Amino acid sequence: MEGIVADSQKHIYRIYFHSQGQVYEVYARSIYQSDLYGFVEIEDYIFGEKSQMVIDPGEDKLRTEFSGVQRSFIPMHAVLRIDEVEKEGVAKIMDSSGQNVTPFPMPVPKGGGKSP
């Protein structure tokens, strides 16, 4: 069993998701479909070392936002992309306006029986 645990720690995922009009790019070691219907769970966030000389303010903001968070439940429709990567990068928050990010298409509700 020890080999399986050690091997699972090697996986690193880059997750892009929408939150409050922004696109979050975060890195984590564990992501899976939640028992809560329609949600994805993210655990074990990865952030750069605080001992580095240059600290990215965007990553520091994310580190602060997710400090003390054991697990996040992200709605499936907010997830844009999940990549398995070899090593973590810099976590960041981007403004979704003007980006080449297209939200998942949702059906448009029909008007309440109005006739032309």
Report phi then psi at 63, rounded to 5: -60, -45
* Model pLDDT, residue 98: 55
For 33, residues 6+ apart whose C-beta sits below 8 A from its C-beta are 39, 40, 41
pLDDT band at 65, cuts 50/70/90? confident
- 95 pLDDT higher than 60: yes
Residue 42's Cβ-count burial label (10 Å; 0-12, 13-18, 19+) is buried
Instruction: Say which range, 39-43, 53-57, 90-94, has the weakest mean pLDDT.
Output: 53-57
